[in-house]
Amino acid sequence: MRRKLVAGNWKMNTDRGEAVELASALARHCEASGDVDVLIAPPFVWIEAVATAIDSSAVLLAAQNAWHEPSGAFTGEVSLEMLKEAGCGWVILGHSERRHLLEESDELIGEKVAAGLAEDLSVILCVGETRAQREAGETEAVLDRQLLAGLVGCEVESTSRLVVAYEPVWAIGTGLTASTDQAESAHAHLRNQLANRYNSEVAEATRFLYGGSVKPDNASELMRQPNVDGALVGGASLAVDSFVAIIEAAAGV
């Protein structure tokens, strides 16, 4: 049985006070680890303050991105080691906003995933098709390409620290959610690909999160699908009430 994971990606939102307040409220809600893993990914600059706020709780801490080289002349970038030292145990890589707005390539994301796992971090690798790709019938080909390129340097021993997030680009921040059938079918396909890439034990053990306009009112039905092991939440993770409602939905399925 895979444990559900509800992850909040705060993106470029919150000021310092809001970040600490939100993290502290979640920490109170998740004092002990319950039936669901809960993770938050604040902006880089609030990571240390948030790490302090959730210190004695079960809330997990992720960065939203990282650079794969350990140090050097990479102006504006933050290394995986730095993030670890700041308190992150996790990193989100390959988010669609980085693929599309920042033009990160499949190859770069593969290098980052390999470096993150080598640094002993847990990695959430995001994949997802655009609306045009879905309409052209290319969804599975796009998911395969992003998944396999993302995992090019991921050895079987590291897969216990891998989570895959399926985030259809057309559902992110749009209020459009994938139907339960669309989400389940993409997740089942990805799980199958993971079995081909590694083996069926790895495929069965790996968690697949759905992301894209997850809200309290659609979270349960999405997470009830057999291959949906949790959610990667953007907008609804910015308010305690809605994020806690999604955590409770995960605990209830």
- Which residues of the chain form contacts with ligand 13P (CB under 6 A)? 9, 95, 167, 172-173, 211-214, 232-236
Give the separation between CA 34 and CA 179, rounded to whole angstroms: 28
CB of 156 to ligand 13P, least distance (A): 27
Q: Which two tokens stand for residue 138?
A: 């290319």
Comparing CB distances to ligand 13P, the nearer of 95 and 112 is 95
Residue with nearest beta carbon to ligand 13P: 234
Catalytic annotation present for 167? yes
* Side-chain half-sphere CA neighbours of 229 within 13 A: 23
Comparing CB distances to ligand 13P, the nearer of 214 and 247 is 214
Q: DSSP state, 152?
A: T
Catalytic annotation present for 140? no
Comparing CB distances to ligand 13P, the nearer of 13 and 24 is 13
CB of 137 to ligand 13P, least distance (A): 24
Comparing CB distances to ligand 13P, the nearer of 203 and 232 is 232
CB of 168 to ligand 13P, least distance (A): 10
CB of 200 to ligand 13P, least distance (A): 28
Q: Which two tokens stand for residue 26?
A: 């979640």
DSSP 33-92: --SEEEEEE--GGGHHHHHHHTTTSS-EEEES--BSSSSSS-TT--BHHHHHHHT-SEEE
Burial of residue 150 (CB within 10 Å: 0-12, 13-18, 19+) is buried
Nearest by Cα to 147 from 131, 121, 132, 167:
167
Task: Name the active-site residue from 68, 95, 97, 129.
Answer: 95
CB of 13 to ligand 13P, least distance (A): 10
Task: Name the active-site residue from 97, 167, 184, 187.
Answer: 167
Comparing CB distances to ligand 13P, the nearer of 38 and 172 is 172
CB 149 within 8 A of CB 107: yes
Report the alpha-carbon angle 125-156-126, nearest 5: 5
The catalytic residues are 95, 167
